[in-house]
Amino acid sequence: NAGVTQTPKFRVLKTGQSMTLLCAQDMNHEYMYWYRQDPGMGLRLIHYSVGEGTTAKGEVPDGYNVSRLKKQNFLLGLESAAPSQTSVYFCASSYPERSYYNEQFFGPGTRLTVL
């Protein structure tokens, strides 16, 4: 049982390049989330998904797109990377139907630098 895994762990991009971050969970969770973490800002929700084929915007969605084609995977895309997207990205998932009072399980993070 691997829990929540994220690929890659580190990445350096040049401004304007694109990339996709992959999140996978093996706990059969319905809900999945993408956060970014910046110094002094805590965790900010980018996008989330309540089930396969559904996604919704969070607090800071601009410049990102997501897809949830399979229940176990949640992809975060950057179409044209900007230096402001330099951050640590965390994926999380939570239990179905009782998400509001069950905890989230977090991946180890992806450290992205945009030059």
27 near another protein, judged by CB under 8 A:
no
Q: How far apart are CA 2 and CA 35, in angstroms?
A: 20
Task: Identify the residue among 90, 93, 112, 114 touching another protein (CB under 8 A).
Answer: 90
Q: Does 92 bind another protein (CB under 8 A)?
A: yes
Q: Mind giving me the DSSP string for 27-86? A: S--SEEEEEEEETTTEEEEEEEEEETTEEEE-SS-TT-EEE-SSTTEEEEEESS--GGG-
42 binds another protein (CB under 8 A): yes
- 40 interacts with another protein by CB under 8 A: yes
The answer to the question of residue 10 lying near another protein (CB under 8 A) is no
Please report, as ranges, the residues that interact with another protein according to CB under 8 A: 4, 31, 33, 40-43, 45, 48, 58, 90, 92, 99-101, 103-104, 106-109
